């Protein structure tokens, strides 16, 4: 068993926020899932997408937002709520509040996070380097 210090893993940044993957098959020996923290900046979000090979669980730590599942009507999410996204289901998450929306995210099986590297605004910061916030 291994304890993971958030400062020891890279931070992935995007125009909409940042992610730290604490456990993934890519970085954690014997891991079959991916687990990390997602931060969506105020007024931003992760647009409609799906994970063809993985289910996803989102747990809201703080902030408020809108969640869309299966192209349905978006619904409000807030602290303490859990969202289950079945394999291949289209979904999106947007921050509707003034503070960052902090989520824990889990992919089963792990690996769906690798597609984020293909996004045009993807940038990975080395462990210990802090991302900055920017205004639009």
pLDDT digits (tens, 9 = 90+) for 97-132: 999 999 999 999 999 999 999 999 999 999 999 887
Question: What is the domain range of residue 61?
Answer: 10-125
Q: Please tell me the predicted confidence (pLDDT) of residue 64.
A: 98
CATH number at residue 110: 2.60.120.10
Q: What's the pLDDT score for residue 135?
A: 56
Residue 3 resides in a domain: no
pLDDT at position 57 is: 98
Residue 82 inside a domain? The answer is yes
d(CA 86, CA 90): 9
Say what the pLDDT of residue 132 is. 78
Please report the pLDDT score of residue 7 as a whole number.
Answer: 92
What was the pLDDT predicted at 130?
86
97 contacts: CB under 8 Å, gap ≥ 6: 42, 63, 64, 65
Residue 65 pLDDT: 98
Any domain includes 50: yes
Look at the chain and report how many structural domains it folds into.
1
pLDDT at residue 1 in the model: 54
- At 76 the pLDDT is 98
On whether residue 112 sits in a domain, the answer given is yes
Residue 77 covered by a domain? yes
Residue by residue, pLDDT tens for the chain (136 residues) are 578 999 999 999 999 999 999 999 998 889 999 999 999 999 999 999 999 999 999 999 999 999 999 999 999 999 999 999 999 999 999 999 999 999 999 999 999 999 999 999 999 999 999 887 765 5
**Chain CA centroid to CA 97, Å:** 17
């Amino acid at each position: 068993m291994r304890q993971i210090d958030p400062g020891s893993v890279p931070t992935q940044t995007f125009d909409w926020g940042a992610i730290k993957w604490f456990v993934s098959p890519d970085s954690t020996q014997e891991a079959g899932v991916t687990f990390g923290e997602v931060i969506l900046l105020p007024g931003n979000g992760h647009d409609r997408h799906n994970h063809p090979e993985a289910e996803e669980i989102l747990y809201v730590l703080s902030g408020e937002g809108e969640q869309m599942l299966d192209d349905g009507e978006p619904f409000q999410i807030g602290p303490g709520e859990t969202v289950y996204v079945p394999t291949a289901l289209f979904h999106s998450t947007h921050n509707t509040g003034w503070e960052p929306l902090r989520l824990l995210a889990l992919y089963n099986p792990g690996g769906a996070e690798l597609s984020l590297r293909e996004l045009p605004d993807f940038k990975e910061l080395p462990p210990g380097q802090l991302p900055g916030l920017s205004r639009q």
